[in-house]
Amino acid sequence: MKASIQQLQDGKAKEVLTDFTNVYFDKGFGVMNKTEIETLFYYVLRKHDLLTGKCFDDSLKLQIPEAKARKLIYESQVKYENRNQEDMDCYVRKAVGECLTHASLVRNNKEVRFAIEDKYLRVALNAKLRANNYFADTSFNKDIISLDEASFIKMVTLLVPNFQKDQVLEKLTAVELADEIKEQEAKDIVVSFIKELIIQGSLEALKQVGALMVAAI
């Protein structure tokens, strides 16, 4: 991190210092505590692309625990982004669209799951869903958003930019087809196994298969 700062061109270094000191001196010299200074400094570094906003990457660059990096990422956005409602709506649409076009979608029964590492975006998305009477389940993992399939499709319709909607819905269709293929392959394996037993005339093995099938019902 220190090397990245030292290699900044004079003009860029001045921008970083100006952004930091403008806030620091507006608060009053010596008023901000250590945590507030770290949060501000993190925000300025990220604003100028010296940090990525990814927990693990930033924790390595700053040599801090990932939990602290996660906290800095969230609190710096809450404190310094200063988005009005219109800006927030635009941010959520852009960020959710970008996230879902790159995310790996997972289906679990009738639920669709995808990961959002950024807590700020996750909180903003949940607020938008609640405002439209939809609710996401994050009890499985705080970084994982779980929605029933109908709610997921409605979310895409409401929040994903038009030019990305088809791509996201195609990914969902691909996941559904993959699940159907896996299910059919599993059935085919069982059928082939039973046929082989019949050919070999293994009555005892057939009885065991039947017992297992009954137990599974």
Report the pLDDT value the prediction gives residue 198, as an integer from 0 to 100.
Answer: 59
Average pLDDT (32-37) is: 95
* Distance (Å, whole) CA 54 – CA 112: 23
* Distance (Å, whole) CA 172 – CA 114: 11
Residues 6+ apart with CB under 8 A from 98: 164
77, 78, 58: which is closest to 68 by C-alpha?
Answer: 58
Average pLDDT (125-152) is: 84
Tell me the per-residue pLDDT of 69-122, one tens digit each, with 9 for 90 and over: 999 999 999 999 888 888 988 898 899 888 888 888 887 777 888 888 899 999
Tell me the per-residue pLDDT of 176-188, one tens digit each, with 9 for 90 and over: 644 443 444 445 4
- pTM, entire model: 0.70
Q: Which helix (H) or strand (E) holds 142?
A: none
| Type of residue at 25 | F
Report the pLDDT value the prediction gives residue 180, as an integer from 0 to 100.
Answer: 42
| Mean pLDDT score of the chain | 81
Both tokens assigned to 70: 């996660």
* 107, 140, 171, 174, 211 from 104: Cα distances, Å: 10, 16, 8, 11, 38
Report the pLDDT value the prediction gives residue 179, as an integer from 0 to 100.
Answer: 45
Quote the Cα angle for 184-188-193, to 5°. Answer: 155
Q: Which helix (H) or strand (E) holds 106?
A: strand 106-108
Helix residue ranges per DSSP H, the chain: 2-6, 10-27, 34-47, 55-62, 66-80, 85-102, 119-131, 149-159, 162-200, 203-216
Going across the sheet that includes 106-108, the strands are 106-108, 111-115, 144-148
